[in-house]
Amino acid sequence: MRTSSKVHAVLAGGTSALMLLVAGLTLLPGSLPLPSPRFLALLSGVTLFPLMGWAFFRGLFGGFDRDLHRLAFRCLPGRPRLALVALIGAGVVLCAVDAATSDSRQDAEVRDGRYVVFETSGRRGTVEVDRREYEAVREGDQRGMAVIPGTALAAVALFVLVTGEVRRADDEAVEAAKAVSTTSAAPASGGTRS
């Protein structure tokens, strides 16, 4: 597999692990000093779109054959394959937890020393809340901003590794074909003379 595929997969997988860790930490009781939702949105925008675009072009130029990609997935080394499948599984579980625990409040802010959130159902608009509610809404915002891009980045990393494995196999097949054509084209030596 080419080094560029490995670097691409490490960038996507590492960012995915970081974002899913942040999303998982929001489920712990109490308030932790985690990045703000705006920072997480910026991080996901800066990493997700370029890495996903790069993966798209890798797949576009590499062709797509579902059976070939399934075989390439099975040929990946066990630990990276297990790690990425575990990240995707954790992301799906965290998405389900986020969907189950989300409510109609979002965008927690502190304005003039007051805690406010945006209410999306009933009376829409900014509502003042207590600190406990503010912390809960803020953690929900953090989880929402981290879990979906984190899961998508894990899928991108897995796709890049599978595409790199297909390309490696193609390169080996081309080299083997060249070696066979070179040996069959070589003149036979040791013939008898009359």
pLDDT, tens only, 124-158: 778 888 888 888 888 888 888 889 999 999 999 99
In the predicted model, what is the mean pLDDT of residues 103-110? 76
* Selection from 145, 142, 116, 148 nearest residue 129 by Cα: 116
Helix H or strand E encompassing 3: helix 3-25
The terminus-to-terminus CA distance of the chain in angstroms comes to 52
Amino acid at 139: E
Of 50, 18, 23, 79, nearest to 156 (Cα)? 50
Tell me the C-alpha distance between 179 and 167, whole Å: 18
Dist. CA 55–CA 12, nearest whole Å:
10
State the chain's mean pLDDT as an integer: 81
Residue 42 has pLDDT above 90, yes or no: no
Q: How many Å apart are CA 47 and CA 43, to the nearest integer? A: 6
Binned at pLDDT 50, 70 and 90, residue 89 comes out as very high
So what's the pLDDT on residue 17?
Answer: 93
Confidence band for 114, pLDDT divided at 50, 70 and 90: confident
Q: Is pLDDT of 187 > 50?
A: yes
